[in-house]
Structure 1
Amino acid sequence: MKHFVGSATETHIEQIFSIWEAGWHEAHAEIVPPSLRDLRTRASFKERALQNVADTYVAVGDDVVLGFCMVKENEVYQMYVSQHARGLGVAQSLMSEAESRIHSNGHHTAWLACAVGNERAARFYEKSGWVNAGKQVVDLDTSAGTFPLEVWRFEKSL
């Protein structure tokens, strides 16, 4: 699908958090603790999307957000593609942009956290040249404070 990747603006927020909420629940609802799932409300995705808009870029086709990615320092913090845009090269475009931004900010190694059990995402990362460096506990941001979760840490030399 023809699309372009560019910086997100507040006009994209509604589409971003809708993609994020749907994608997160699809990929994580069955593999994370119920207490974390309960904290991942529609309002929580909107709040986090607004807080991170400066770190977000979007893939847009026909004036519709097809996916988004958030980069913080050398971390691919979040990346989701809408269900109807999967398999069309959107994820590859977003990941390529993330790697480019991380490298241009002076980092030579990028990393990301993947929920243990999210096999579809793990396959995509490995196909994209990322290496599973093992498990680690990360503190996730939630409306109730931080939530420790064991994840797979993926890394890639840039």
Structure 2
Amino acid sequence: MTAVRDAEPADLKPLAHLWWTGWRDGHEGLLPDALKRLRTLESFEDRMAAALPKVRTLGPVGAPLGFHLLKDDELYQFYLAAEARGTGAAAVLMADAEARLAQAGVATAWLACAIGNARAARFYEKSGWTMARIETVPTETSEGLFPLEVWRYEKHLAG
């Protein structure tokens, strides 16, 4: 299994495409049309360009298989390419995310999961995360914040 590494400039476009594809795959039929209209490939490229210095990925440079992005005590984004599912890559990526959160002093981490995204929920639960509640989070879009009701998952990491 490839080691997790910092994202590099050559990863930008492939990571944005992976994110866009994964977002569409994981959220099809689950999210409001108003949000789906704002989630263009270009919007993912813009968001990835801004986030790239904080992104951790695995796979060859220029051909990433997945990534995570942390934001304070939140596992803010976690995506895996379809071709990497079932390979153990997700567990490796999750271990890296959790280790980095713990190293930052986070005792309890959280993540937002689209309500109805059963595949993601199963993975999070298998990884030791617990569904804490349903809550509304302000989701970033090109037109400002979009309130979205999500499943909030939490995991105790340290302390």
TM-score by length of 1: 0.96
- Partner amino acid for 1:99? E
Residues 60-114 of structure 1 show CA distances to partners (whole Å, capped at 9, x for unaligned) of 1486211011011111100111111111011111111010000001111110000
- Partner amino acid for 1:116? I
Aligned to 1:119: 118
Q: Provide the C-alpha distance between the structure 2 equivalents of 1:102 and 1:125, rounded to a whole number of angstroms.
A: 16
Aligned to 1:75: 74
Distance change in 2, residues 1:11/1:63 (3 Å): closer
- Give the alignment's Cα RMSD to 1 decimal: 1.1
2:10–2:62: 8 Å Cα contact kept in structure 1?
no
How many residues are paired up?
Answer: 157
Aligned to 1:21: 20
Q: Provide the C-alpha distance between the structure 1 equivalents of 2:50 and 2:62, rounded to a whole number of angstroms.
A: 23
Q: Does 1:144 align with 2:143?
A: yes
Residues 14-59 of structure 1 show CA distances to partners (whole Å, capped at 9, x for unaligned) of 1101110001001112100000000000100000001111221001
4+ long deviations beyond 3 Å: none
Q: Provide the C-alpha distance between the structure 2 equivalents of 1:139 and 1:76, rounded to a whole number of angstroms.
A: 15
Written as runs of structure 1 = structure 2, the 5 A alignment for 1:1-158 is 2-61=1-60, 64-158=63-157
Percentage of matched positions with identical amino acids: 43
Q: Provide the C-alpha distance between the structure 1 equivalents of 2:61 and 2:42, rounded to a whole number of angstroms.
A: 27
- Partner amino acid for 1:50? A
- Partner amino acid for 2:121? A
1:16–1:65: 8 Å Cα contact kept in structure 2?
yes
- Partner amino acid for 1:36? L
Residues 106-151 of structure 1 show CA distances to partners (whole Å, capped at 9, x for unaligned) of 1111100000000000000000000000100000000010000000
Q: Provide the C-alpha distance between the structure 1 equivalents of 2:39 and 2:133, rounded to a whole number of angstroms.
A: 25
Unaligned 5+ runs, structure 1: none
Distance change in 2, residues 1:11/1:61 (3 Å): closer
Q: Structure 1 or 2: larger strand share? A: 1
- Partner amino acid for 2:22? G
- Partner amino acid for 2:117? N
